[in-house]
Amino acid sequence: MHYPKDLEHLISYYAKLPGIGEKSAERLAIATMEFKDEEIKEFSEVLINAKKNLVRCSICGHITDNEICDICRDESRNKNIICVVEDYKNVFAFEKSGKFNGTYHVLNGLISPIDDIGPDDINLNSLVTRVSSLDKPELILALKPTIEGEATTLYIKKILENEKVTISRLAYGIPIGAEIDYLDNVTLEKALEDRKKISD
């Protein structure tokens, strides 16, 4: 199939996006050609701006278009509860649930000796400073249950040993709606380990 060069080029950019195959990319590129000139111009500008204007919040490391993100600036949020996450996408996931009223700390990575990522390569130092500035804070580690997640969890526990801080991690267990038959062994094992008493 032979598209004009510029269209081909646009298709290749759409095809870089996750979940967009060659056929969808073609469909999107052709649909883009139906946009009005001003719309194309704005789309093009907003791409540049989104990437350029979004910086890291100087407190928590979340992406923001200000020096301090909306969440850290929000007076109604509990600054003493910090949910530690791997990246800013996790923040969006929690915010969508609407069930968390604390703040976040975005590590922007996990400790991974195999990939040569050590504690200094991720946003950990500022977490220590932050925790020590607070009065009896609570830290919720919301890191994925992989080797890297566990390593990071252990490391955070260790560096905060001497601080007055409550640390918990998210519960592991059966996801809501799942069929127990189809769960993997590790999840079942964790669900058993973390079982919750419901009567005495």
* List of residues contacting a copy of itself (CB under 8 A): 1-7, 9-10, 13, 16-20, 24, 26-33, 35, 37, 39-51, 53-54, 63-65, 69-70, 89, 92, 95-96
Q: Are 140 and 168 in contact (CB under 8 A)?
A: yes
Q: Which is nearer to a copy of itself, 87 or 138 (CB)?
A: 87
Amino acid at 134: L
Q: How far apart are alpha carbons 105 and 69 in whole angstroms?
A: 11
Label each residue of 108-176 as H, E or C: CCCCEHHHCECHHHCCCHHHHHHHHHCCCCEEEECCCCCHHHHHHHHHHHHHCCCCCCEEEECCCCCCC
Q: Which is nearer to a copy of itself, 16 or 158 (CB)?
A: 16
Q: Which is nearer to a copy of itself, 35 or 172 (CB)?
A: 35
| Residue 43 Cβ vs a copy of itself, minimum distance, rounded to whole Å | 4
| Residue 42 Cβ vs a copy of itself, minimum distance, rounded to whole Å | 7
| Residue 141 Cβ vs a copy of itself, minimum distance, rounded to whole Å | 22
Cβ neighbours around 32 below 10 Å, total: 15
Q: Which is nearer to a copy of itself, 5 or 196 (CB)?
A: 5
| Residue 86 Cβ vs a copy of itself, minimum distance, rounded to whole Å | 14
